[in-house]
Amino acid sequence: MTLVEKKVIAYIEKHLSVFIIAFAFLLGAYLRFSMRYFLSGDTLEYYLPWYDDFKSLGGFKALGQQVGDCDYTILYQFMLAALTYLPMIPLYAIKAFSILFDMLLAVLVARIVYKNTEYGLNGAAAAFAFVWVSPVIAMNSAMWTQCDSIYTFFVILSLYYLYKEKDVTAMVFLGLAFSFKLQTIFVLPFFLFYYFYKRRFSVLYFLIVPAVFFISTLPGIIAGRGILEGVEVYFIQKAEYYRMEMNYPGFWMFTSYETFVEKYEYFDYLYPIALLVTFMMLAAWMIFTIKKKVTLNAKNFLGLALLLTFTTVFFLPVMHERYGYIYEVLAIIYLFYNKKAKLPCLAIQVVSLVTYAWYLMYVPRNLTFLAVINTMIYITYAYLYVKGIKDEETAVSL
């Protein structure tokens, strides 16, 4: 090896984090750039028509009325109206807004790893790369034109500040997440448990969430909408579907079939049972944690947040393939606190990738088989959480 080669290698090793970030950024940017022309069914049927409606009705002026069949929150409609003022192709503008939050989410995860683990800059760079280059995250925004990275960004922020004992700030960010997407509710069981377990703040703090949500609806109210119209959108979403599974390989896939029909024939019977089972599973994990008097250090905090969110999505009915987004990101963060979580973290991404590919590109998949895999992933995370607690008990007793 020549002297020049040695110096180059030494330089790369010294600035490895910079090279990782630069390479990951270019790769992630290329992934999204290559998807720029893709038109998903949702884009053609919803996002572009909504954009055109806002554009033709005067942008922000349209916030005072129901625009087409737009069943997204007023805050998202406000952002969509704002995009109509940009000198960009509508498709690119909508995608760019979500991609911006892909980047913010990757930076946030990197910051969490840098500030709260022993991996330093290299670990932060790797965390950034895992999020930014994730095919699922890239496809969600750049192919599907979805906005899951937006509300998830605020969910992760709220969890971060909750752990840092900045409870008001945590509730504000949770309110912002809820102001973008109802799917924020999947992390609510963890927040409720944390309140009961830690007994650090008043239940009144939860009122910050609807307060922030109400503030987010003010542009619509000022434009002429009723005070309750901002909440009504969530009831509309709830009433749209009547199948136990909506391309999400959850527990109830074992009780239904894969063919899409308008309404699953046993839906009315299984739906309340599914809600009860979900409640019981969540209660079981909470009781276990209480009985074991688990110390919610960073590892256990993340592990339980991941597990409760995963439990909620896995056992609830009418789940879509994108609804695992929060726990998929949590799985990446958790990986830096538990090296044994490598395989389930990868498996989660693969399962979502297959369901995304089926919906977006009609790539064949067996949802029942994926449900089996997803069940194994869930059991693995449950094992890792329990095993970690037992290891801590053993260490204390020694």
pLDDT band at 26 (very low <50, low <70, confident <90, very high): very high
The lowest-confidence range among 100-114, 138-152, 242-256, 369-383 is: 242-256
CB under 8 Å to 77, separation ≥6 — which residues?
50, 54, 63, 67, 70, 220
Cα 94 to Cα 71: distance, rounded to the nearest angstrom? 16
What number of CA atoms fall less than 13 Å from residue 170's CA on the CB side?
Answer: 20
Q: What is the dihedral of CA 144, 145, 146, 152, to 10 degrees?
A: 110
Paired residues of 320 in beta bridges: 246, 247
pLDDT band at 100 (very low <50, low <70, confident <90, very high): very high
CB atoms within 10 A of CB 237: 15
Q: What is the pLDDT of residue 395?
A: 66
Q: What is the pLDDT of residue 60?
A: 92
pLDDT band at 224 (very low <50, low <70, confident <90, very high): confident
Q: What is the pLDDT of residue 15?
A: 75
Structure-block tokens of residue 83: 């995009």
Mean pLDDT in residue range 207-235: 84
Q: What is the pLDDT of residue 390?
A: 87
Largest Cα separation within the chain, whole Å, is: 74
The answer on pLDDT for 53 being more than 80 is yes
Render pLDDT for 230-245 as a digit per residue (tens, 0 to 9). Answer: 777 666 655 567 778 8
Bigger pLDDT: 5 or 237? 5
Render pLDDT for 349-396 as a digit per residue (tens, 0 to 9). Answer: 999 999 999 999 999 999 999 999 999 999 999 999 999 998 887 766
Domain parsing of the chain, residue ranges: 241-398
**Three-state secondary structure call for residue 82:** helix
- Name the H helices within the chain: 3-14, 16-34, 41-42, 48-56, 74-83, 90-116, 120-132, 135-138, 148-163, 167-180, 188-198, 208-216, 218-223, 229-238, 267-291, 298-315, 325-335, 342-361, 367-397
Cα 175 to Cα 207: distance, rounded to the nearest angstrom? 9
Render pLDDT for 104-128 as a digit per residue (tens, 0 to 9). Answer: 999 999 999 999 988 989 999 999 9
Structure-block tokens of residue 250: 């959850």
CB atoms within 10 A of CB 168: 11
Structure-block tokens of residue 177: 């997440």
The lowest-confidence range among 21-30, 142-151, 177-186, 224-233 is: 224-233
Q: What is the pLDDT of residue 239?
A: 52
